[in-house]
Structure formats: structure tokens, C-alpha cells
Structure 1
């Protein structure tokens, strides 16, 4: 395994992770609220891309906001380095590196406000489909891409029925996230899709059982499932990538 490749992936992850606290702050609102446009003290957020890019501290009062910059940079760097280690120099690594910062941002937002915004979940699915389509064309593996396109709606459908039966426990944001995750998992085959989908549910259930055991929540408490879905998919990709042809 090329140390240079892993180092470059980690550096890319750290650089993109540095940009995540500001959008995490802006997107962490209730569904019926506009995206945040001010720091906690009320000063307007300005900068490139209409205030979405830039440091996560107010230029007026210097107050920090959003999650820790060091935490987001370290988490994204570790995720990208792990993906590079597992995947190696194969072309699909480019797709995983593009998806990783968006996935980390989704984890941050869902943990903060229990919401998976469409402006993140739908681009995640579109990016997975288009980048893997390009990989399929470059590597002459259209079957893998078609399987991925089928896997996305398949996993989303598995989440849709529980969402319709109990919207309080499972929202449509989880269904839309499953679409993108399913496309990524499907690239490596149906067993990987099953492993990643089941791992997300299992991790969420174990965490909920632990919180119930220590009496930090009760049976009526709703918890964000997105972080566990993403973690399960991430682990499945790490397991499947080294064995991929």
C-alpha cells in the first residue's frame, strides 16, 4: 500500500474537515426554520459561497460556533485515510473521498438536531451515482454500476416501510440517506449491501439498548439513526474493498 496515497487522502480529509463546522452550524435547525445566517451573538455570516465557506468563528465578536474544527478535521482525515488504505489506488477511491466529507457533515447535523437535510442526502446519492458511473465507464465495469443503481432504491425501500408505519422513529431523511448509501454499498455487491444495511440498524439498536440500560433515555425517546447508518456503511466498505477485484 502506498504511504503517499494514504497521506494524500488524510490531508484531503483534514482540509475538507476544516470547512465542515460552518455548514454544520447553518444546517442545524428545525425542519420549519431557515438555515442559520448568524453567529450565536447575532452577527451575519459572510464569506465565500454566500457565507457557507470560511472559518467557524465570527469576524465581529470572534465567538466560535458549530462543532470543534479539530474534531471535524481529525474525523474526516481518519475516514479518508481508512478508505484509501482499504481501497488502494483503484478508481472508486475517488468516489469514496468525495462522499466522505458529506457523510461526516450529515453525522454532525443529525447528532445536533436529529435531521438529515435534503440538501445533503440527495446530492450524496447523486454524487455516488455519477462518480461510480464514471468509474464504471473508465474500468469497463458497467455491471457494477447498474448493480449500484439498483441497490440504492432497494435499501431505501427497506427503510421506507418502517418510516411510513412509524414516522416518529424513522424519518424520510433516513430513507433518502439510505438511497445514497445503498448506491455506494452496491458497487461491491449485494452481500456488501446487506452487511452495511444490517450493521447500521444493529449499531443503532445496541446504542439505544445501552442508553435504556443506563436510564439515560426511555422508550419514547427518539434518537438519530443517520450516524449509525453511515458508520455501518463505512465499515462494510472497508471490509469489502480489499477483496474487490
Structure 2
């Protein structure tokens, strides 16, 4: 059963990734190179397959496919423009909340939804505090995205929430060092934080305690 689910979610992610790509092109400030379309679609398909493989059959699969689809697109936009547009982040949050609520309506596991809501609010508060303490380090786009990834992480449980919180900073630091060593950035370069947040949230379901 896992193989058909994995294949169908990979295909769904690939197709969805291809068709949502034009959302980035609606504004010049978020536009991506046309050559990135196949790459983002492939990454979305891979993310969708990974989530299906580690989560198995679950009513939450549609919500996590949304994480793959919009998460990869937002990560690409942030990597290119250092920007996380509200017109994508806001529907992302609303869609994730509705899909996770639908899953809980079917299963009756409302504690997961409560954990997700608390996780989203908690991670939003953490990132907002960091943005206020150190202006320029964490952007307001990151703060808003934190509500989305916190929702998913909180839905999975407190351990996953802690993982997403810490892993995002670790992955961002690794990316910064890598770019520095590759001479693609300097010590004063601004490293977009969104891709690390998205990657951390995509990895969280694979943890043994999720």
C-alpha cells in the first residue's frame, strides 16, 4: 500500500509543483527564472513522496502535500529574492489549518489540532521576539511563515515542534558556511531563512517520535 501512496503523492506533487509555479510570476519582485520550473516541480514531487512514505496512509496527507507544494515554491522565492510574500503565506496558513482540521474531524483527534494551533502561535511568538530583539536578522516574512511551520510541527507533537525550531537555525547556519566556503557569500551577506524553515518542517514527519 505504501508504494502506490508514495507514487501517487510523488506524481501529485510533481504536477502541482509545475502548475503553481506561475504564482511566483504574478509579481516582478517574486518572479523566478523560467528554468527553475522543472526544478521546483521535481523538488515538490520528491517532498510529496517523502512525506507520504514516512507518514503512511493518513487523512493528514493532503495537508502535508500542501506543505510540499507551497513550501518549495516559497523556499525558491526566498532563496532568489529574500522575500516571503503575504499573498502566498496567508493562503498557505489558512489552507493548512483547514486541511488539518478536516483530518481531525474525520479521526476525532482534536488534540493534534490544538497542538498545531498552539505550535503555530508559539513559533510565531518566538520569531517575532527574535525579529524585535535583532532587527534585520529575522524578517517579518519569516515571522509569518513561522506560524505555518509551527502549525505543522505542533500537529505532529512537541518533540517535532522543538526539532523544527532548532533545526531551522542549524540548517541556516550550515547553508551560510557552505556559501561562504564556496565564495558565493560573504560574512555580511544576508542568508534567506525561509528555505531552512521549510526544510526543517519537511523533515519533521520522518522523525521516529512524530
Asked if TM exceeds 0.5, the reply is: yes
Distance 1:182 1:4 in 2: 29
Distance 2:125 2:169 in 1: 14
1:24 match: 24
Match of 2:200 among 216, 224, 232: 232
Q: Which structure 2 residues correspond to residues 200-219 of structure 1 after superposition, within 5 A?
A: 200-219=168-187
How far has the Cα of 1:28 moved from its partner? 5.2
Q: Does 1:74 align with 2:30?
A: no
Distance 1:192 1:146 in 2: 15
Distance 1:182 1:67 in 2: 31
Summarize deviations over 1:83-122 as a string: whole Å, max 9, x none.
1101111111121012321111101110111000011112
1:119 match: 87
Distance 1:24 1:171 in 2: 19
2:127 match: 159
How far has the Cα of 1:205 moved from its partner? 1.1
Q: Secondary structure at the match of 1:127?
A: helix
Match of 2:69 among 101, 113, 121: 101
2:8 match: 8
Contact 2:89 2:144 in 1 (8 A): yes
Distance 1:211 1:78 in 2: 24
Give TM-score scaled by structure 1 length: 0.79
Distance 1:219 1:125 in 2: 33
Stretches of structure 2 lacking an aligned partner (at least 5 in a row): none
Give TM-score scaled by structure 2 length: 0.92
Stretches of structure 1 lacking an aligned partner (at least 5 in a row): 30-34, 37-55, 57-64
Contact 2:68 2:202 in 1 (8 A): no
Distance 2:55 2:78 in 1: 27
How far has the Cα of 1:217 moved from its partner? 2.7
Contact 1:28 1:109 in 2 (8 A): no
Distance 1:231 1:141 in 2: 26
Task: Output the aligned Cα RMSD.
Answer: 1.9
Matched pairs, number: 210
Q: Secondary structure at the match of 2:175?
A: helix
